[in-house]
A and B are shown apart, each in its own frame.
Chain A
Amino acid sequence: EIEMTQSPATLSVSPGDRATLSCRASQSVRSNLAWYQQKPGQAPRLLIYGASTRATGIPARFTGSGSGTEFTLTISSLQSEDFAVYYCQQYNSWPPFTFGQGTKLEIK
């Protein structure tokens, strides 16, 4: 089973600033990685797939990068609606599909 580790657990950033979230896989997942955003009381929403492709309707300020075992989600110029929990998920080797434990992005 591939373990996904996200860091930091909590990230405090001011609106308008850039946020950088990290995700590490215990073994290579190539580019088979997705990112999801979850706001309180809501279902997760797909942001990025294939490590770097934005899903339909996702603003350009969300950028995914990386391959193999190291991945990054960058959110430039944070908007109020971006403060949420972010999860990475690998789909290279399954079952099981595995998620990271999440990074909570909070307002500084």
Chain B
Amino acid sequence: EVQVVESGGGLVQPGGSLRLSCVASGFTFNDYAMRWVRQAPGKGLEWVSSIVDSGSDTYYADSVKGRFTISRDNSKNTVYLQMNSLRAEDTAIYYCAKAHNLYFEDWGQGTLVTVSS
């Protein structure tokens, strides 16, 4: 059974940093791209970032480019999202998802990030 579990969310002040982690199991981790998607309170889904299976290529939404960094450690079946220079508009539930043929096949339960003073 595929499992994706996010952690690392919390309350952070504007301008602060946070690192999210996503541990995956139940599949061959280094065969799949992984992605982060966020959902602001009461809003829809917004793709944030993607990383290919090897980690060699990464992609970002314009809204986070230059502030967020995605990475992965295939030895630990883990993908990370380093978030710097956080803003109030980054407040959201952050979901980690396993990609398959470009769609989002399996999702974690999410971790809440709140940016507020």
Contacts and interface: CB of A to CB of B under 8 A. Distances in A.
Given A95-B59, A95-B60, A89 B104 contact: yes
Contacts of A89: 45, 103-104
Contacts of A101: 44
Interface string B7-42: 000000000000000000000000000010100000
Given A43-B95, A44-B45, A101-B44, A95 B104 contact: no
A34 B103 contact: yes
Interface string B41-66: 00011110010000000011110000
B85 interface: no
Interface in A61-108: 87, 89, 91, 94-102
Interface residues of B, number: 22
B60 A34 contact: no
Nearest to A32: B102
Given A43-B95, A43-B108, A43-B109, A100 B47 contact: no
Given A96-B47, A97-B47, A99-B47, A44 B107 contact: yes
Interface in B92-116: 95, 101-110
A55 interface: yes
Q: What size tier do the contact residues of chain A reach? A: 20 to 34
B105 A46 contact: yes
B46 A46 contact: no
Residues of B contacting A: mostly: strand
A34 B103 CA distance: 7
Contacts of B62: 96
A105 to B, nearest CB: 15
Given A49-B101, A49-B103, A44 B47 contact: no
B44 A102 contact: yes
Nearest to B35: A97
20 contacts: A32-B102, A34-B103, A36-B104, A43-B107, A44-B45, A44-B104, A44-B107, A46-B104, A46-B107, A49-B103, A89-B104, A95-B47, A95-B59, A96-B47, A96-B62, A97-B50, A97-B102, A99-B44, A100-B44, A102-B45
